[in-house]
Amino acid sequence: MAINVEDFYRKYGPMVLRRCRSILKNEDAALDAMQDVFVKILKREKDLNSDSPSSLLYVTATNVCLNVLRSQSRKKETTDNSMLETIVGTDDPEERVLRKIFLEKLFANEKVSTRTIAMLHYVDGFTLEETAEQVGMSVSGIRKRLRVLRKNGLELKEV
């Protein structure tokens, strides 16, 4: 059954905007990202079903926001790195820079979905089951991705 994007926008727009704000920490960027989420949904409305709209929109919003962050870092724009500070958890500028470089190297060769999984599990505090449900994978698949990510992180740390 095709979805009604207008109804989704009215019902889930605030949730999507909150998600975008929490990741991007910039009101204008969050509003743009929210619009991008619904444009993506609109483009595929005939192919999508309305079984779990909040999960679909939550994951889409996460991916759109991560793409925005990735795009900003490629353009070398000065951005508000509040999300990075949340991940890093330090006020020391030198330590923040070193950890940012570490995270960029860690995720450079990973699938986009692995970054989403790490964000959902480690930053948002989702359980393995909740993370699996959000990204449409099995719990064992989530465990494997996180295990490989941890292993790669430890190897990178030793270098």
* The pLDDT of residue 2: 63
Give CA–CA dist 146/53, Å, rounded: 26
Asked if residue 144 and residue 110 are part of one domain, the reply reads: yes
Asked if residue 137 and residue 85 are part of one domain, the reply reads: yes
Compute CA distances 29 → 56, 72, 133, whole Å. Answer: 20, 11, 27
Compute CA distances 48 → 4, 34, 44, whole Å. Answer: 10, 18, 6
The residue from 49, 80, 111 where one domain ends is 80
Asked if residue 158 and residue 89 are part of one domain, the reply reads: yes
* The pLDDT of residue 145: 92
- What average pLDDT does range 119-135 have in this prediction? 88
Give the CATH number for residue 62.
1.10.1740.10
The residue from 31, 58, 80 where one domain ends is 80
Asked if residue 58 and residue 18 are part of one domain, the reply reads: yes
* The pLDDT of residue 17: 94
Whether 82 has a pLDDT exceeding 70, the answer reads no
* The pLDDT of residue 61: 93
The per-residue pLDDT for range 88-122, each reduced to its tens digit, is 455 677 777 777 788 888 888 888 899 899 888 88
Asked if residue 155 and residue 101 are part of one domain, the reply reads: yes
Under the banding of pLDDT at 50, 70 and 90, the label for residue 138 is very high
The parent domain of residue 24 ranges over 1-80
Asked if residue 149 and residue 104 are part of one domain, the reply reads: yes
Number of structural domains (the chain) is 2
